[in-house]
Amino acid sequence: MRPALVAVAHGTREPAGREVIANLVDDVRRRLPGVEVIAAWVELVEPGLREVMSGMQRPAVVVPLLLSTGYHVTVDVPAAAALCPAPVHVAAPLGPDRYLARAMTARLREAGALFGDAVVLAAAGSTYPEGLADAERAAALLRSEWGPRVTVAYVSSVEPDVPAAVEQVRQSGADRVCVAPYLLAPGRFSSQVTELATVAGATVPTVLGGHRLVTDLVVLRYQQGLQALAATAAGSAVARPHQDLAAAIS
């Protein structure tokens, strides 16, 4: 049996957000017949990742359905993965990645934006410098797909916020402004982005989660995890005879 895929999302009280994640996991299941695909959550929703991993008895690849580096990626997810007695590989978070930049481009076009329109990429915000660097990298990837007029704003923790970023873009001469949520699923942050952007008179595309490119990216992270598990197993197999020989000599 192939290693399981554990797709772990942040967690939200918003039913629409849980539905988007459930649909994404179902899409991944259809793409990977014969693989057990399990949804888990960092917080707010059951089953929690710690519960899933403590009950896991076979190899698994944990794919964080998260878009940047932060406490969940660096602490919560690895700590929960370590509860599994079998080999586990924790994949990189989904973002930043060109797949997401292309999905965001598609969302912008669906919302009526034109290539070259000014775009404010609205990220959640982070107290981690790595998370802020990830948001800037996401914006750079979007520029390579969309055009140069892409800037970053944050929903919390960091400036500029969405209204300030929209105003700065307008002052630079942009007539049409779109605020693109760099968010996977509906929830508190996406509601704030929509409200702030609407008040500022900007177009707001939908979140990324339901796009087929996001499914493609989850499948890719799983495949990368399989390669990592295989490499680890091969390394262990090479090391073991030397360890056995050393024990015999001693």
List all residues 6 or more positions away from 22 whose beta carbon is below 8 Å from its beta carbon: 39
What's residue 235's pLDDT? 76
Nearest to 205 by CA among 68, 114, 106, 125: 106
Q: Are strands 177-181 and 118-123 parallel, antiparallel or unpaired?
A: parallel
Contact 12, 185 (CB under 8 A): yes
| Residue 40 near residue 19 (C-beta atoms within 8 A) | no
Q: pTM for the whole thing?
A: 0.91
C-alpha neighbours within 13 Å on the C-beta side of residue 145: 20
| pLDDT tens digit at each of 250 positions of the chain | 899 999 999 989 899 999 999 999 999 999 999 999 999 999 989 999 999 999 999 999 999 999 999 899 999 999 999 999 999 999 999 999 999 999 999 999 999 999 889 999 999 988 899 999 999 999 999 999 999 999 999 998 899 999 999 999 999 999 899 999 999 999 999 999 999 999 999 999 999 999 999 999 999 999 999 999 999 888 765 445 444 434 433 3
Nearest to 131 by CA among 188, 192, 64: 64
